[in-house]
Amino acid sequence: MIVTRKALPRRTFLKGLGAAIAVPALDSMMPAFAAPSSGAKPVRTAWFYVPNGIDMRHWTPVDDGKMASALPRILAPLEELKGEFNVLSNLTANWGRPLLVGAGDHGRAAAAYMTGVEVYRTAGADLKLGVSADQVAANAIGTQTKLPSLELGLEEARMAGNCDNGYSCAYAYNLAWKTETQPLPPISDPRAVFERLFGTDIAESPELYAKRLGMRKSILDMVSSDTAKLQSSVGVSDRRKLDEYLTSVREIERQVEMAEKEGMRIDPGMAKPFGVPPEFDGYYKLMTDMMLIAFQTDLTRVATIMIGREGSTRSYREIGIPDGHHPLTHHQNNEEMLEKVAQINCYHTKLFADFLRKAKSIQDGEGTLLDNSLICYGSGLSDGNVHTHDQLPTLLAGRGGGTVATGRHITFQRETPVANLFASMVERQGVRPEHVGDSTGRLAGLSLS
Amino acid sequence: MRTFPLTALLASTLAGAPFQSVVEPVLRQKCLMCHNDKTASGNLNLAGLMTPASLAAQRDTWEKIVAKIRTGEMPPKGVPKPPAEVVSALVEHVEAEFEKADKAMPANPGRVTARRLNRVEYSNTVRDLLGVHFRANEEFPPDDSGYGFDNISDVLTVSPTLMQRYVIAAEKIAARAIGADPLPKPGLFDRRSRVQRKGAGVMELNDIIEFPADYVIRAKFIGHRGVDGKPVLTRISIDGKPVKEVEVPTAFTLVNRQGGATQRTQEEVRVFLNDGPHRFRVEFVNDEAGKSIPPGPGPGRNNIVPDSFEIAGPFPPAEELAERKQVVICDPAAGAACVEKIMAPLVKKAYRRSISKSEVLPFVKVSENARAAGYNPGQALQFSIAALLVSPHFLFRIEKDPAAGQVKRISDIELANRLSYFLWSSMPDGELMALAEKEKLHEKAVLTAQLARMLNDGKSSALAENFAGQWLETRSLDAAKPDPVKFPAWNADLKEAMKTETQMFFEEVMRKNLPISDFLDGKYSFLNEQLAKHYGIEGITGGEFRRVELDSPQRSGVLTHASVLTVSSYPSRTSPVLRGKYLLENILGAAPPAPPADVPALDEAAIGKKGTLRQQFEQHRADPSCASCHARMDVLGFALENYDATGKWRTKDGEFPVDPAGTFPNGKSFATPAEMKMLLKADMPEFTRCLTEKLMTYALGRGVERFDRRVVQQIARQTEADGYRMQTLIGGIVNSMPFQARRGEALRQATKETKAK
């Protein structure tokens, strides 16, 4: 980095060279920059997507309404937190279904789940989907924060080729779609997430940093005007590509301006991570910790995380399961395989419980960070064996700033679009889209009144 | 219409016979009973396909039909097959009609949208522009892919996240190229707590270096081997490359004789390190003496171990980097004139075309702004270079569009760019650009000579890495995680060895201009000790790869490479379906269609457990709707059952003997994987067409369309006529119209926009 190098305190160098995977002490962490001035805290939304469905026999709570009885096996790790969330039954992601198209359920599931539109079958260049629920929010309120949204993923390497029966991998790997044709790839490298949130130059003095921002602005200015000139001399498709580029340039310009206004930067309270932690739980924790810091410091209010890409074949050796997740879910009711799937499902909810506990431990205005959030946990498939896209496993944690009454199991009418939930979530962030994908309204009964 | 018995059709009367006599009767008698208005089995209704005109009107459907008939997948089992000469007459007639239609189509090179450099291209271009080694794969979000490749222009987008990474990367790269930022004071860092001890005599450290500079890497050792300890050869390596070998004493020292129990010694090496993560390793080499010492304390167990690392730095680099000298050709402190002098050649190189002075001036302005803000001249220059690296002219490959609908040859400079990104995944070099500027590159002789030169250049490894790595899917090895319990031999080194084998094999075929049939059956490969052992091949020692001639029927060609066999398996077992699909998609160019919605998934889990695997498949295949695809796919997949999920040879799967034998729908049968490969090889035109399409997709950065078929066919035939030589295939693509021309985009939308203005 150019200016950073000047007059860098020795201490930071030490810290940088040895940057280990440090986990932030969130409880004691005080963000260096002030919270929004008004008393009320903004509502944050997040989507946790788990691939390959969930064994619903061990998911659906026995009670309707208040969940008095002990939670079933997969939700059991969340038992002590059950006052903090609702389990929502019978929601459907209709466009994940084969309908007239046929196989490719994994290719469609994640894409259809978040967007509520038809997933255009192609393994080629002509991707076509819709704006995902999180981006509906980000496109509306994203300018209020440094980052409009944060996309995370826990699967590093990508496969080549089409991912499922002629559906491009882009559909299975990307939850967030900014436009019909532009997916926002999740970041899976912890260091890249860190740098996206906090910048590469957190060791810089305020004066040097301000100077650097000035230079960045002048460079981006120059690039913008250059691109504008270029656009007038190229064909329509090329112009579209350059438009996309220019939009991104403008977005970075905006971020720079925002950083200039803030003056001070955020102290993340953690060292820059180095590589991907070898154990899955460490990886999960590190990435979700950064999501929490981003929420806590109001760097963004919208986040998505793919616990695995749809159709993931990750094996979970951490809990003694060497088989790939996806092949296991095609268990054909084989007991041994069913058991392994259930163990993976439980492992995921256990990690999610740790995340919720942490969110609950963070003070945020009058309440906790969890109180002010709406965190949807679920999958675009229920039964991974036969690929069902209705009666989806769905859990909504957090009170959305007091707009959601928690602690209940709510069973909706069959075929209620899961997009209705998403519309209800973003609405609580002050976004009022006519619809989100195929939503037909809002979910009734989330707030008790 | 009168129908007559098929057997009455004799081959001699068939040549040139019309649709009504060679196609229609077959359809009526063999196909229509399932593919009709009512049942439309497999979503195919032949009612509208009974006329010659349908060949053109419903070309896509017809292509599928003829492919199914040609391979014998249709008519399915249970329907008596028409005589072979009837089938071939039908196929020949239809294919001849296709070709006629293709020839009648106006020449169309297609269009390639402005292409953003993908991660590999970005890294390579930065390397060739500034001599900076930047690992974009670790810094940028992954590129999406289309048609199986990650260089498809329409899919490569610029998200805000990527843009942010571009800005950060540009500053980093510029700083590395110029090195004008003052370094912090050097420090000494004890890395003991982060050292990983990997077995006897080996330690490793993974660490991040913040500043590109010189560092002293110090390896510390503890212990001794008593009075007689002989020195042990010790190797220090960084990022897999040995940087120092030295004899480390292991005997008592005088100091120790006087009472101390342990001795400490250290070795160090001063090296230049780029910023970013590095892996440091210290190991005893050929340490026979060490092996005889049992671990643990006690008499006779005195030993010495590499114990910890210390890193000191950063120190200013001992000598100015050669790359830097090439860039900084005058002292930027001298003012704007020098900055312009430095930037002009850089901008030209980075834009990969000729430039005007007015295109350089904004970069000079950036430097001036930086100077005004108080930066030193070198730092100011860094900002100019950073600006260059985020410019759309650098990040995109943009070609000049001809007038709407018009087809025009691309300029020599554009050709130089296409050529070098195709073969090198990087920018053109000086020689190529010089020829292009003189407008000589497109001349056949010049182009041929350049092609040969470029393939011979080490940079053409990029074609093996990026094309073959995606065509054969060996890139996916990084995501492969075979079950360590079932496959204890699997580790990162074996994985790398697998990749290297396929990479070197492809390079051999490419550079030595060998026939592409070697991909199916080349009786040689590239092995090191570890991989040879994996294959059960004796007599290969050491870590280096070398060409090995193969004489066992177990291995030949890429289909028996462990890399290919691993990526087409599940983590814990093989999958005949995955492997069959792999072969159909990547070797035969006949990607199976998606299974119909109502077909239950095959229960693959029972494989190897109940020993009824094949029966289960047979059952699945008994259903005619499954049979049409699986008849070919499963046969291909089962043929490779002699190779386990990491590509090791086996004759038993669990308790049950492996039975690789099979019969293709066209009646040809085989008993071993080697025989199956011979059958693939017997149909070289099919494989050639498949490889041509893949290579063309990669070369053009767009999908192969219907109007490309004629060109594909032409290149494939040329290659065939020249003994299937690889360079003939590559040359065929480079010399083809789609590679050398461009069509102007129809301006429908553009006019609308202009009107709006």
Which residue in B176, B185, B208, B343 has the most chain A C-beta atoms within 10 A of its own C-beta, making it the best mutation to test that interface? B208
Q: How many angstroms away from the CA of A306 is the closest CA of chain B?
A: 15
Q: Is the pLDDT of residue B253 over 90?
A: no
DSSP β-ladder status, B241-248 and B187-190: unpaired
Which residue in B115, B155, B163, B569 has the most chain A C-beta atoms within 10 A of its own C-beta, making it the best mutation to test that interface? B163
**Choice among A268-272, B161-165, B180-184, B553-557 with the minimum mean pLDDT:** A268-272
- Residue spans of chain A under pLDDT 50: 1-38, 160
Closest CA to A48 of A258, A315, A351: A351
List of residues 6+ apart from B123 with CB closer than 8 A: B133, B134, B135, B136, B137
B635: left (phi over 0), alpha (psi -120 to 50) or beta: alpha
B405: left (phi over 0), alpha (psi -120 to 50) or beta: left
Closest CA to B61 of B76, B84, B40, B82: B40
Cis bond upstream, residue B75 (ω within 30): yes
Q: Is the pLDDT of residue B518 over 60?
A: yes
Name the residue among A218, A275, A330 with its Cβ closest to that of B601.
A330
- B-chain CB neighbours of A215 within 8 Å are 366, 369-370, 373, 375, 383
**Residue A148 at interface with chain B, using a CB cutoff of 8 Å:** yes
What is the residue whose two structure tokens read 């980000």?
A: A138
**Residue A260 at interface with chain B, using a CB cutoff of 8 Å:** no
**Residue A165 at interface with chain B, using a CB cutoff of 8 Å:** yes
Task: For B627-658, write each residue's pLDDT tens digit.
Answer: 777 888 889 999 999 999 999 999 988 778 88
C-alpha A372/C-alpha A364 separation (Å) is 8
Considering only residues B197 and A96, tell me which one the structure prediction assigns the higher pLDDT. Answer: A96
Task: For B438-459, write each residue's pLDDT tens digit.
Answer: 999 999 999 999 999 999 999 9
B 122-141 residues with CB < 8 A to A: 138-139, 141
pLDDT computed for residue B4 by the predictor: 47
Q: Cα torsion at A141, A147, A149, A151 (round to 10°)?
A: 180
**Choice among A78-82, B21-25, B323-327, B518-522 with the minimum mean pLDDT:** B323-327
Taking the alpha carbons of A173, A176, A182, A188 in that order, is the dihedral positive or negative?
Answer: negative
B643 DSSP 8-state letter: B
Name the residue among B144, B149, B211 with its Cβ closest to that of A5.
B211
CA-CA distances (angstroms) from residue B684 to B214, B602, B680, B717? 55, 31, 7, 11
Average pLDDT over residues B119-125: 97
List of residues 6+ apart from A358 with CB closer than 8 A: A26, A288, A289, A292
Structure tokens at B318: 């001992």
Average pLDDT over residues B273-278: 84
Q: Is the pLDDT of residue B1 over 50?
A: no
Taking the alpha carbons of B408, B414, B415, B417 in that order, is the dihedral positive or negative?
Answer: negative
B70: pLDDT confidence band, cut at 50, 70 and 90? confident
B614: pLDDT confidence band, cut at 50, 70 and 90? low
A 97-136 residues with CB < 8 A to B: 98, 101-104, 122-127
Structure tokens at B534: 């994996």
Number of neighbours of residue A414 by Cβ within 10 angstroms: 11
pLDDT computed for residue B229 by the predictor: 84
Closest CA to B373 of A212, A256, A260: A212
Are B175 and A2 an interchain contact pair (Cβ–Cβ within 8 Å)?
yes
Helical (H) or strand (E) element with A361: helix A335-361
Name the residue among B382, B485, B703 with its Cβ closest to that of A322.
B485
A 180-199 residues with CB < 8 A to B: 181-187, 189, 192, 195-196
Q: Are A81 and A356 in contact (CB under 8 A)?
A: yes
pLDDT computed for residue A199 by the predictor: 78
Long-range CB pairs of B321-327, under 8 A, 24+ apart, other chains included: B321/B131, B321/B179, B321/B272, B322/B131, B323/B130, B323/B131, B323/B132, B323/B177, B324/B131, B324/B177, B324/B178, B324/B179, B326/B131, B327/B130, B327/B131, B327/B177, B327/B178
Q: Which residue does chain A place closest to B362, by CA atoms?
A: A222
**Residue B383 at interface with chain A, using a CB cutoff of 8 Å:** yes
Q: Which residue does chain B place closest to A4, by CA atoms?
A: B181
pTM over 0.95: no
Sheet holding B213-223, edge to edge: B187-190, B304-315, B213-223, B264-273
Closest CA to B611 of B579, B648, B659, B576: B659
B515 DSSP 8-state letter: B
Considering only residues B650 and B197, tell me which one the structure prediction assigns the higher pLDDT. Answer: B650
Q: Are B648 and B562 in contact (CB under 8 A)?
A: yes
A 46-85 residues with CB < 8 A to B: none
Q: How many angstroms away from the CA of B703 is the closest CA of chain A?
A: 7
pLDDT computed for residue B601 by the predictor: 56
Q: Is the pLDDT of residue B422 over 50?
A: yes
- What letters, b where the CB count within 10 A reaches 16 and e where it falls short, cover B63-72? bbbbbbbbbb
Helical (H) or strand (E) element with B207: strand B202-209
Considering only residues B725 and B618, tell me which one the structure prediction assigns the higher pLDDT. Answer: B725
**Residue A39 at interface with chain B, using a CB cutoff of 8 Å:** no
Q: How many angstroms away from the CA of A445 is the closest CA of chain B?
A: 35
C-alpha B566/C-alpha B581 separation (Å) is 14
Number of neighbours of residue B161 by Cβ within 10 angstroms: 24
Q: What is the full DSSP assignment across B10-43? A: -HHHHTT--HHHHTHHHIIIIITTTSSTTT-GGG
CA-CA distances (angstroms) from residue A253 to A219, B162, B506, B707? 10, 14, 45, 43
C-alpha A228/C-alpha B731 separation (Å) is 38
Taking the alpha carbons of A110, B475, B485, A319 in that order, is the dihedral positive or negative?
Answer: negative
pLDDT computed for residue B128 by the predictor: 95
Q: Are A260 and A210 in contact (CB under 8 A)?
A: yes
Give Rg (Cα) of chain A.
22
pLDDT computed for residue B409 by the predictor: 94
Q: Are B449 and B455 in contact (CB under 8 A)?
A: no
pLDDT computed for residue A3 by the predictor: 26
C-alpha B90/C-alpha B18 separation (Å) is 10
Q: Are A223 and B138 in contact (CB under 8 A)?
A: no
The phi, psi pair for B730, rounded to 5°, reads: -60, -45
- A-chain CB neighbours of B138 within 8 Å are 189
What is the residue whose two structure tokens read 């342990």?
A: B262
Strands (E), A142-271: 150-153, 176-177, 183-184
B644 DSSP 8-state letter: -
Closest CA to B694 of B122, B59, B146: B146
Task: Kindly report the three-state secondary structure assignment for every residue of B648-664.
Answer: CECCEECCEECCCCEEC
**Residue A20 at interface with chain B, using a CB cutoff of 8 Å:** yes
C-alpha A398/C-alpha A303 separation (Å) is 14
B605: pLDDT confidence band, cut at 50, 70 and 90? low
Q: Cα torsion at B703, B708, B714, B716 (round to 10°)?
A: 20
A374: left (phi over 0), alpha (psi -120 to 50) or beta: beta
C-alpha A124/C-alpha B115 separation (Å) is 15
Task: Kindly report the three-state secondary structure assignment for every residue of B182-197.
Answer: CCCCCEEEECHHHCEE
Number of helical H runs and strand E runs in chain A:
11, 14
What's the one-letter identity of residue A226?
Answer: D
Considering only residues B262 and B733, tell me which one the structure prediction assigns the higher pLDDT. Answer: B733
Q: Is the pLDDT of residue B604 over 70?
A: no
Closest CA to A391 of A412, A367, A371, A366: A412
